[in-house]
Amino acid sequence: MILLLALACTGAPADKDTAAPDTAADTDTDTDTDADTDTDPNVDTAPVDLDGDGYAADVDCNDTNVAVYPGAPELWNERDDDCDGLVDADGAWSGSMQMAASAVYEGRRYDFSLRCPYAGTRTLGQLAFTITCTPDPEDVDAQRLLGETLIVTPKDTDVTGAAWADDVEFTSANGWDSDGEGTITWSSFSDAAVAVQMSGVSLAASGSGDIARE
């Protein structure tokens, strides 16, 4: 009996699984980033010409009006017909005019001739300009009677079509001002003639010249 118990105690040990657990993480991070670029060859992707004037919407500034396209005749209609970004005669204008002035001082008449630059703009039915006359600094009489500068500006800035005619204001650097009249007549969308006039008891001035769109 004792021998049997001894044999039982010294029997072979039980079989155990001693393999290390699989702790390796799955590092496969590949993702499908290919975009589907397939296009239908039957679909027309060319720019559309809605008004049928021969110019597609990518170059036609108004593709719903057959009379509006690049190079179309520009008309006096407050619309950009030729797609150049300008309506009618809108834009910056410059030029010069010859101004003649006469003043009476202490019973004596003085006459002056001045070349006066014009600078202005016309935009969306509004006109703005400045005519700047600068008498000869060495002409004492002109400096005393006209001032270091004599400036003409419009009083009413509304403009429509190929002509503007309204009141202007003459302003002297000597501190006086006087009303007058002015006209601008456009012979084209890039050329115009300008004229101004002031009539007074002791001072009169008038001038005219040509201006052009820059």
pLDDT at 2 over 50: no
**Eight-state DSSP code of residue 137:** T
What is the band of 201 on the pLDDT scale with cuts at 50, 70, 90? confident
pLDDT for 4 equals 38
Domains in the chain: boundaries: 47-85, 91-213
Distance CA 104, CA 54 (A): 65
CATH 3.10.28.10 fits 91-213, yes or no: no
Write down the pTM of the prediction: 0.75
Per-residue model confidence as pLDDT tens digits over 67-78: 999 999 999 999
Q: How many CB atoms lie within 10 A of CB 179?
A: 12
pLDDT at 177 over 90: yes
Per-residue model confidence as pLDDT tens digits over 76-134: 999 999 999 999 999 999 999 999 999 999 999 999 999 999 999 999 999 999 999 99
Q: How does DSSP assign 151-212, residue by residue?
A: EEEES--B-BTTEEEEEEEEEETTS-EEEEEEEEEESSSSEEEEEEEE--SSEEEEEEEEEE
Distance CA 181, CA 208 (A): 12
pLDDT at 37 over 60: no
Distance separating the N- and C-terminal Cα atoms of the chain: 129
β-strand partners of 193: 185, 210
User: What does the block give as tokens for 134?
Assistant: 């600068």
What is the band of 47 on the pLDDT scale with cuts at 50, 70, 90? confident
pLDDT for 89 equals 96
Among all chains, which residue has been given the structure tokens 């001045």? 114
Average pLDDT, rounded, for the chain: 86
Q: How many CB atoms lie within 10 A of CB 62?
A: 19
Comparing C-alpha atoms, which of 138, 168, 136 is closest to residue 154? 168
Over residues 163-188, the mean pLDDT reads 97
Higher pLDDT, 214 or 39: 214
pLDDT for 5 equals 36
pLDDT for 36 equals 55
- How far is CA 187 from its chain centroid? 24
Comparing C-alpha atoms, which of 96, 114, 110 is closest to residue 150? 114
pLDDT at 149 over 70: yes
pLDDT for 12 equals 45
